[in-house]
Amino acid sequence: MRIDELIMKNFLLNKKETKKAIKEGLVTVDGKIPAKISQNVDSSVQDVIFRGEKVIFYPHKYYMLHKPVQTISANTDKKHETVFDLLENVDKSELYLVGRLDFWTSGLLLITDNGKLGRNMLNPESHVEKIYQVTTKEPLVASDVDKFAQGLSIDGDVLLKPAQLEITGAHHANVKISEGRNRQVRKMFLSTGKLVTELKRIKFGPLDLGEDLAPGQYRELTIKEVESLIPHFN
């Protein structure tokens, strides 16, 4: 939520009064004066003070979902089950997906109503890292590591940023990327002559899928996990 909106809701100030108070340094976030009145905050994990009084929080919602294969990364779909169909007993009216995974890819999805956070994490300039577990039809070789590190070309002439490939078995690897192009990981492996047969995202920014969340399950982020997202609030 924007800092000016939070102050207006808590103290029944108009926009002009709120803007003046922020500019005069009467509002602090974690002990610092906001750089701008539109600064994005979440007072459930940040200390927001106005004239010496702690601001009551209007918490955002944050969910981690383990997307199973054969589901659509969308709110609704007429033919297939969507990840939003998996969110039971949750008010989904203001929620949206931070990024997408294709139909045959499983793994970590972040779902939130913190729009500024989502836009920032998806901004290419943010360089948010993602890690995927990959299974290939053809065996992987040591030279693949160098090819990924040098930056691969896909779609004919699109040169990708260097990526980190860790081979964990003859047909298994983890790959770390900081871009989010359509079907990028599959195309990267295909450019080296490898067909991806299984693909799972296990990490998105500071968030780690872990082992406890089964495909199709979801949970709220912990306070510690939300705090790890604060650098992406603005």
Mark 13-24 as b/e (b = at least 16 C-beta within 10 Å): beeeebeebbee
Q: Which residues on adjacent β-strands are paired with residue 67?
A: 107
How far does CA 207 lie from the centroid of its chain?
Answer: 8
Q: Which residues on adjacent β-strands are paired with residue 40?
A: 2
* CB-based burial label for 92 (10 Å; 0-12, 13-18, 19+): middle
Known catalytic residue: 47?
A: no
Q: Which of 102, 113, 146, 208 is catalytic?
A: 102
CA distance 110 to 63: 6
CA distance 169 to 139: 9
Sign of CA dihedral 179, 182, 186, 189: negative
- Tokens describing residue 120: 């920032």
Q: Which residues are catalytic?
A: 102
